[in-house]
């Protein structure tokens, strides 16, 4: 028996999930020590409750996915609206180096997936589904490429399989990033900048968007209205471009167009119209969108579907989690400088390497709330994880499909 929760009830339950997660992290010591993000903690409890209901009564709760998509687009729009060219220049060589590290990892991730699938007697393309299609790509890429693999390559159930793998990655990415970064920080005796982190209420000068979501950001009603108009512009641009470019060589997921629209609008306002954008309001909207998106995503997690995955696929996904943690700890950390910023970048890399950019940001927030600011990480990860990586991943997937399809 299916129970459908409408828009309002979904939003109410998402807020409850976030409050439960916050309560758990405040009261349960090991959640704080391992830097588990609040939406992940609360979301897993909600998923377990849904699983219990399904196991005992056969009820299958479902939630408004349109609301989840809307808040995801708000989050990505906020990244674009925060990315003026001056900030991109601040990323400098570090942004390029991190992008190269991530590109190499995509090749590693797909190679592991294809090799294990072949060794376990599965179609190599299933290894791609349990590779960068779903883990780096997330739910949107899983749905798009899953349909291609069903229609053109005969992989039955590829879309369902992809959504399940993407959901697994979203959870695991949120669970391994914080503990790995904590281990790197303690093992190498690293320290964040003095006077930052969870202490105090006011937001420090120079903080990047998404840093310290619990700190005070003073905004006005006029700023809120202006910011809502900016977000509406990003979403309108994303909707138009998604339909206009459908079926062309530059077809991209809607969230990429939302981010790109934000970049265009922000820099046009900065450099053409000389209009001062209110970053603090964008930050509030972005953090709220991030939290609610993750809450609804995990609230919608159907553990009974994951439990039904074939044994070989579970082996592949478990191996991918181990490879992700090892690569971040031994490659990403070393290449990015073996310092505190590098440790925070590792938390972010685990987030979008296994799940999605919102998970990456949540991982980094959990670390910086405890150990201190990392402006470099919050400058680099959202742009690489939300924009550049989707373009690179699309090319990598096409290459692997041509090789093994």
**Where is 3: in which H helix or E strand?**
strand 2-4
* 205 CB-near residues (< 8 Å, 6+ apart): none
Report CA torsion sign: 301, 305, 307, 313.
negative
pLDDT value of residue 204: 52
The torsion angles phi and psi of 98, rounded to 5 degrees, stand at: -65, -40
Alpha carbon separation from 160 to 79, 87, 128, 222, 304 (Å, rounded)? 29, 39, 14, 44, 13
pLDDT value of residue 179: 94
Residue 376 near residue 89, CB atoms below 8 Å = no
pLDDT value of residue 240: 95
pTM here is 0.74
Query: Which tens digit of pLDDT belongs to each residue from 183-201?
Result: 999 999 998 875 444 444 5
Of the candidates 379, 380, 349, which has an alpha carbon nearest to the alpha carbon of residue 109? 349
Compute the distance between CA of residue 153 and CA of residue 157 in angstroms, rounded to an integer: 12
pLDDT value of residue 247: 81
Compute the distance between CA of residue 217 and CA of residue 224 in angstroms, rounded to an integer: 12
Compute the distance between CA of residue 109 and CA of residue 210 in angstroms, rounded to an integer: 28
* 337 CB-near residues (< 8 Å, 6+ apart): none
Mean per-residue pLDDT over the chain, rounded? 84
* Position with higher pLDDT, 39 vs 100: 100
Judge whether residue 302 has pLDDT over 80: no
- Band (pLDDT 50/70/90 cuts) for residue 159 is confident
Write out the E strands in 33-118. Answer: 60-62
Residue 255 near residue 137, CB atoms below 8 Å = no
Compute the distance between CA of residue 390 and CA of residue 393 in angstroms, rounded to an integer: 5
Three-state SS for 250? coil
N residues, the chain: 405
Compute the distance between CA of residue 213 and CA of residue 227 in angstroms, rounded to an integer: 18
* 159 CB-near residues (< 8 Å, 6+ apart): 142, 143, 146, 147, 150
pLDDT value of residue 369: 86
Judge whether residue 96 has pLDDT over 50: yes
Q: In the block, which residue shows the tokens 């007697």?
A: 121
* Position with higher pLDDT, 193 vs 228: 228
The torsion angles phi and psi of 231, rounded to 5 degrees, stand at: -65, -40
pLDDT value of residue 322: 96
Question: Quick one: average pLDDT of 271-287?
Answer: 86
Compute the distance between CA of residue 301 and CA of residue 238 in angstroms, rounded to an integer: 26
Q: In the block, which residue shows the tokens 């990015």?
A: 336
Neighbour count for residue 200 (Cβ, 10 Å):
12
Query: Which tens digit of pLDDT belongs to each residue from 325-364?
Result: 999 999 999 999 999 999 999 999 999 899 888 888 889 9
Domains in the chain: boundaries: 66-404
Neighbour count for residue 373 (Cβ, 10 Å):
24
Alpha carbon separation from 169 to 283, 291, 320, 365 (Å, rounded)? 26, 17, 9, 19
Range scoring the smallest mean pLDDT among 99-108, 325-334, 393-402: 393-402
* Position with higher pLDDT, 402 vs 334: 334
Compute the distance between CA of residue 372 and CA of residue 343 in angstroms, rounded to an integer: 12
Judge whether residue 262 has pLDDT over 70: yes
Of the candidates 113, 171, 121, which has an alpha carbon nearest to the alpha carbon of residue 401? 113
Three-state SS for 385? helix
């Amino acid at each position: 028996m299916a129970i459908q929760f409408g828009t309002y009830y979904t939003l109410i339950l998402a807020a409850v999930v976030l409050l439960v997660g916050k309560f758990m992290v405040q009261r349960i010591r090991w959640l704080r020590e391992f830097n588990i993000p609040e939406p992940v903690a609360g979301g897993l409890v909600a998923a377990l409750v849904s699983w219990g209901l399904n196991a005992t009564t056969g009820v299958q709760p479902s939630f408004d996915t349109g609301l989840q998509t809307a808040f995801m687009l708000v989050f990505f729009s906020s990244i674009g609206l925060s990315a003026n060219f001056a900030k991109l220049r601040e990323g400098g060589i570090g942004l390029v180096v991190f992008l190269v590290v991530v590109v190499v990892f995509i090749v590693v991730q797909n190679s592991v997936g294809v090799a294990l699938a072949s060794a376990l007697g599965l179609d190599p393309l299933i290894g791609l589904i349990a590779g960068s299609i779903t883990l780096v790509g997330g739910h949107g890429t899983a749905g798009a490429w899953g349909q291609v693999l069903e229609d053109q390559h005969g992989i039955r159930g590829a879309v369902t399989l992809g959504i399940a793998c993407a959901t697994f990655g979203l959870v695991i990415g949120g669970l391994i990033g914080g503990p790995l970064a904590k281990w790197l920080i303690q093992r190498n005796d690293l320290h964040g900048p003095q006077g930052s982190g969870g202490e105090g209420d006011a937001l420090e000068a120079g903080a990047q968007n998404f840093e310290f979501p619990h700190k005070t950001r003073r905004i006005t009603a006029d700023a809120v209205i202006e910011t809502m108009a900016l977000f509406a512009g990003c979403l309108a641009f994303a909707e138009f471009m998604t339909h206009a470019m459908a079926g062309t060589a530059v077809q991209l997921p809607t969230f990429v167009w939302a981010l790109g629209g934000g970049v265009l609008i922000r820099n046009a306002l900065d450099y053409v119209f000389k209009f001062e954008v209110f970053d603090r309001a964008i930050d509030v909207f972005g953090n709220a969108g991030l939290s609610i998106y993750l809450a609804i995503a995990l609230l919608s997690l159907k553990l009974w579907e994951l439990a039904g995955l074939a044994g070989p696929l579970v082996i592949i996904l478990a191996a991918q989690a181990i490879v992700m943690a090892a690569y971040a700890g031994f490659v990403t950390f070393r290449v990015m400088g073996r310092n505190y910023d590098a440790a925070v970048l590792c938390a972010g890399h685990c987030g979008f390497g296994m799940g999605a950019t919102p998970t990456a940001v949540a991982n980094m927030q959990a670390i910086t709330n405890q150990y201190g600011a990392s402006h470099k990480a919050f400058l680099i990860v959202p742009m690489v994880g939300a924009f550049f990586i989707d373009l690179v991943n699309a090319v990598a997937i096409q290459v692997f499909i041509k090789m093994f399809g």
